């Protein structure tokens, strides 16, 4: 991620998660960027703090996608500070708190929190690692069998570093085909990634640490259904503990899941039970995710 101060309190952020953002766009910012040779092409959003139009350069209207107080900005959440508006923006380094300098003391939780990157005087920011009340960015990657979803998730996680790969699938030594699948996954991982083989996700999601790449939700759900004897009872166990941990985790998490709604209706009760349970769980986690990606025929497309 790169952060560049332009002028007049404007900061340009380039990040693999949130894209290209311009934080505030005061009068003269477009001209200042041109004079400094800072290209603004590809800016996806301008997040304007404050209440009135005085912090917005009229030249930006119709040129850049401006999101001000009261507007909806995909992936960013507004925070009402009374006289001001701030933004929470999930990035690869945590959640960026973007607010006007005059609101900085009121915008952060109590405690010794200080900005950790150089910003223009009119902008204050802090990273999720210093703000205990803010969740970490969560990325859900879905797709069908052999769609390339695991490779896509590995590419996304690989941009962040400090990756723990969580393999939720079982070990089946007498199944050569499954063994080859596992070997292919292992061969793709960088040598500096740490691997954990477990279906117990709660301790990992609630503990501090670096990026988690969990592959995948389908095998986790199968293990959960096995443990609850759901195949014979027909009752899906409560998964609220997982969804709450996903919603509140402070770690960056890339979670791989199977898209189960595009195929035929399974011919067995067990197959229908699994399909319905995973479909509902996918929808719940997607609503809480900061990003959702779909892999199809080896091509990844961001849905949100």
The pLDDT tens digits of the residues spanning 215-251 come to: 989 999 999 999 999 999 999 999 999 999 998 887 8
Given pLDDT bands bounded at 50, 70 and 90, which one contains residue 129?
very low
| Mean pLDDT within 96-109 | 61
Angle at 168 between CA 163 and CA 173, to 5 degrees: 115
Distance CA(26)–CA(256), nearest Å, equals 41
Of 194 and 180, the one with more pLDDT: 194
Distance CA(66)–CA(242), nearest Å, equals 36
Q: Which domains does the chain have, with CATH numbers?
A: 2-130 (no CATH), 138-302 (3.40.50.300)
Distance CA(289)–CA(141), nearest Å, equals 10
Q: Sheet holding 11-15: strands in order across?
A: 2-5, 11-15, 19-23, 45-47, 66-67
| Mean pLDDT within 35-39 | 74
Structure confidence at residue 7 (pLDDT): 61
Structure confidence at residue 172 (pLDDT): 66
- Would the pLDDT of 137 be above 80? no
Show which residues are catalytic.
Answer: 185
Contact 212, 204 (CB under 8 A): yes
- Would the pLDDT of 280 be above 80? yes
Given pLDDT bands bounded at 50, 70 and 90, which one contains residue 143?
very high
Residue 275 makes CB contacts below 8 A (sequence gap 6+) with 260, 261, 265, 266
Structure confidence at residue 266 (pLDDT): 87
Burial 110-126 (b: 16+ CB within 10 A, else e): eeebebeeebbebbbbb
Token digits of residue 31: 């001209």
Nearest to 11 by CA among 37, 40, 31: 40
């Amino acid at each position: 991620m790169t952060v560049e101060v332009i002028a007049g309190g404007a900061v340009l952020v380039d990040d693999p998660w949130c894209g290209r953002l311009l934080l505030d766009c005061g009068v003269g910012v477009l001209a200042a960027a041109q004079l400094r040779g800072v290209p603004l092409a590809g800016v996806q959003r301008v997040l304007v703090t404050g209440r009135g139009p005085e912090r917005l350069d009229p030249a930006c209207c119709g040129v850049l996608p401006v999101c001000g107080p009261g507007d909806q900005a995909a992936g960013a959440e507004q925070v009402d500070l009374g006289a001001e508006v701030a933004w929470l923006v999930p990035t690869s380094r945590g959640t960026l708190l973007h607010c006007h300098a005059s609101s900085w003391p009121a915008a952060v939780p109590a405690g010794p929190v200080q900005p950790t990157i150089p910003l223009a005087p009119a902008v204050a920011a802090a990273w999720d690692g210093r703000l205990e009340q803010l969740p970490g960015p969560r990325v859900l990657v879905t797709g069908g069998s052999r769609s390339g979803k695991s490779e896509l998730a590995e590419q996304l996680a690989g941009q962040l570093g400090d990756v723990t790969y969580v393999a939720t699938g079982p070990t089946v030594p007498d199944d050569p085909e499954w063994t080859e699948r596992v070997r292919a996954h292992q061969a793709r991982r960088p040598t500096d990634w740490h691997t954990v083989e477990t279906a117990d996700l709660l301790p990992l999601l609630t503990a501090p640490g670096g990026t988690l790449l969990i592959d995948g939700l389908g095998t986790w759900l199968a293990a959960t259904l096995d443990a609850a004897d759901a195949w014979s009872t027909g009752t899906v166990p409560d998964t609220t503990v997982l969804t709450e941990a996903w919603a509140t985790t402070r770690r960056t998490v890339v979670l791989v899941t199977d898209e189960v709604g595009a195929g035929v209706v399974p011919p067995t009760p067990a197959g229908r039970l699994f399909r319905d349970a995973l479909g509902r769980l996918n929808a719940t986690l997607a609503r809480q995710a900061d990003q959702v990606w779909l892999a199809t025929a080896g091509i990844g497309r961001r849905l949100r």
